[in-house]
């Protein structure tokens, strides 16, 4: 064989390999987008009213159902939410309040749930359908950096609810309220902050949404886990899924280096775009870190015994905040950590995540 022709054949072979690699990448992206758009969702299977109620009130029964049954129940929820909301920011059009987008699997380190995802017309945000269930709220006595108000007790949530997959963004808030009060980084895909509990109530009145109860928040954050954070027990487990002081400082260093290379001044430390870190097994982003999140409850001591659908007390002078923020140390982002502030308080590290009740089947 002549050596003269070898380089040409090698280049041709390399071009074919490169072409196949590009094609494979395009197919992979296409399949991912198709899955995310719900193209591969199972066909809905009709279930009885009794079965639907059982699935929506108990995540264990939801998980045990078939994909077709979950799709069928999700479509029932969509129909039950189909009434228009006259006060919505979209002007009270005839479009549904919520539209079912897909039913897909979310998981992390062995914890998985197949969750229905809905789009909300007034805000443009996505919501996860969270079935009810029973869990241990609070922290065990041996948990590192535990606070005294985290008395562990059994909580039963008898209802499903919708919870925004992200913290309310600046784009969504401005779309509804016509203003952006944020004092940190101003960007449409960042969480809105410097909003009081009272101002969030006005936002919810316009959109038909509400704040989650403290029990709903922790149930959704844990998503079936029992560790300090939904991602594990260590600070390393946390920083791979959350924007907190430790993870944010490393990211800020990278961003500031890039900005320096192009002649831009580094920005002040602030929150980050939503949905950049992995979501939890309920498909929720930033349940730890980025910004603290208001809850509906007034702050009060926990019960030491089992409770059902707790909502806190309206008479309390302070409202609960959860999740930690971009400037928080790791212990503040623990799933059980409770904080509180007055309903008129505003901070550049405090935002919210809206929820919606699901009508009873």
pLDDT digits (tens, 9 = 90+) for 152-199: 999 999 999 999 999 999 999 999 999 999 998 999 999 999 999 999
**Is residue 286 one of the residues assigned to a domain?**
yes
**Is residue 58 one of the residues assigned to a domain?**
yes
pLDDT in tens, 11-58: 566 666 656 665 654 444 343 444 454 444 679 999 999 999 999 999
Q: Which domain holds residue 293?
A: 49-357
Residue 281 has pLDDT above 70, yes or no: yes
Give the separation between CA 96 and CA 44, rounded to whole angstroms.
20
**Is residue 308 one of the residues assigned to a domain?**
yes
Residue 246 has pLDDT above 80, yes or no: no
Rounded to the nearest integer, the mean pLDDT of the chain is: 85
- pLDDT category at 217 given cuts 50, 70, 90 is very high
pLDDT in tens, 118-159: 999 999 999 999 999 999 999 999 999 999 999 999 999 999
pLDDT value at position 262? 57
Residues contacting 275, CB < 8 A, separation 6+? 165, 166, 189, 285, 286
**Phi–psi pair at 8, nearest 5 degrees:** -65, -45
Q: Which residue's structure tokens are 């009709």? A: 46
**Is residue 152 one of the residues assigned to a domain?**
yes
**Is residue 26 one of the residues assigned to a domain?**
no
**Is residue 22 one of the residues assigned to a domain?**
no
- Please count the structural domains in the chain: 1
CA end-to-end distance (rounded Å), the chain: 77
* CATH code of the domain in which 145 resides: 3.90.1580.10
From the list 240, 133, 195, the residue with the least C-alpha distance to 353 is: 195
User: Strand, helix or coil at 302?
Assistant: coil
């Amino acid at each position: 064989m002549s050596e003269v022709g070898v380089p040409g054949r090698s280049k041709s072979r390399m071009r074919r390999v490169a072409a196949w690699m590009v094609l494979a990448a395009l197919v992979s992206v296409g399949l991912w987008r198709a899955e995310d758009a719900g193209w591969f969702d199972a066909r809905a299977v009709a279930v009885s009213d009794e079965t639907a109620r059982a699935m929506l009130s108990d995540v264990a029964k939801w998980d045990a159902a078939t994909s077709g049954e979950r799709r069928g129940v999700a479509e029932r929820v969509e129909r039950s939410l189909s009434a228009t909301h006259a006060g919505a920011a979209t002007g009270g059009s005839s479009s549904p309040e919520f539209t079912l987008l897909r039913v897909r699997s979310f998981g992390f380190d062995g914890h998985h749930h197949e969750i229905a995802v809905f789009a909300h017309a007034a805000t443009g945000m996505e919501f996860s359908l969270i079935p009810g269930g029973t869990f241990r709220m609070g922290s065990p006595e041996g948990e590192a950096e535990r606070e005294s108000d985290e008395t562990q007790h059994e909580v039963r949530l008898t209802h499903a609810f919708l919870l925004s997959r992200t913290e309310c963004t600046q784009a969504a808030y401005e779309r509804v309220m016509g203003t952006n009060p944020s004092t940190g980084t101003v960007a449409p895909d960042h969480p809105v902050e410097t909003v009081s509990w009272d101002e969030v109530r006005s936002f919810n009145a316009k959109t038909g949404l509400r704040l989650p109860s403290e029990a709903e928040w922790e149930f959704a954050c844990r998503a079936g886990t029992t560790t300090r954070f939904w991602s594990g027990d260590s600070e390393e487990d946390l920083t791979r899924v959350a924007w907190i002081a430790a993870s944010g400082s490393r990211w800020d260093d990278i961003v500031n280096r890039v900005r320096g290379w192009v002649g831009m001044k580094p920005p002040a430390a602030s929150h980050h775009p939503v949905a950049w870190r992995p979501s939890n097994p309920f498909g929720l982003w930033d349940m730890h870190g980025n910004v603290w999140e208001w809850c509906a409850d007034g702050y009060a001591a926990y019960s030491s015994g089992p409770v059902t659908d707790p909502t806190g007390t309206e008479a309390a002078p302070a409202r609960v905040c959860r999740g930690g923020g971009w400037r928080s140390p790791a212990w503040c982002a623990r799933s059980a950590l409770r904080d509180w502030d007055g309903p008129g308080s505003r901070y550049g590290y405090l935002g919210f995540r809206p929820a919606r009740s699901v009508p009873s089947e």
